Homo-oligomer: A and B are copies of this chain.
Amino acid sequence: MSPRARPHFCSLDAAMDVLSGKWKILILWELREQPRRFGELRRLVPGISEKVLVQQLRELEADGVVSRESHDGAQPRVEYSLTQAGLELTKALQPLTDWSLRYLVRV
């Protein structure tokens, strides 16, 4: 769950908490241009288990960066997308990506 039990020492700490989780960055990345269905995300994030995918999506949703929309019919169909906050978050991460390219070299 998020906010996780841990207290925050500063606002940056709180933001990091939103991103803490092995796959969250990748999930946000896959949602950056369009909504994705659960099954799509499972394919786009190779190696993640269903349990963990659901869990990380729930946390991102609880933190207000992802929204979940369920269109149900004969076949269940659920779409996940970035909220405004989520979109702004991906933008706020750009300098960090640049820093990484400059100083970490390795990818």
Contact = CB atoms under 8 A, between A and B. Distances in A.
B10 A29 contact: yes
Interface of A: 3, 6, 8-16, 18-20, 22, 25-26, 29, 63-64, 85, 88-89, 91-104, 106-107
A107 B8 contact: yes
Contacts of A16: 19, 25, 96
B19 A97 contact: no
A26 B10 contact: yes
Contacts of A15: 96-97, 99-100, 104
A18 to B, nearest CB: 7
B92 A96 contact: yes
Contact of A104 (B11, B95, B96, B101): B11
Contacts of A12: 25, 29, 93, 96-97, 100
A102 B99 CA distance: 23
Contacts of A89: 99, 103
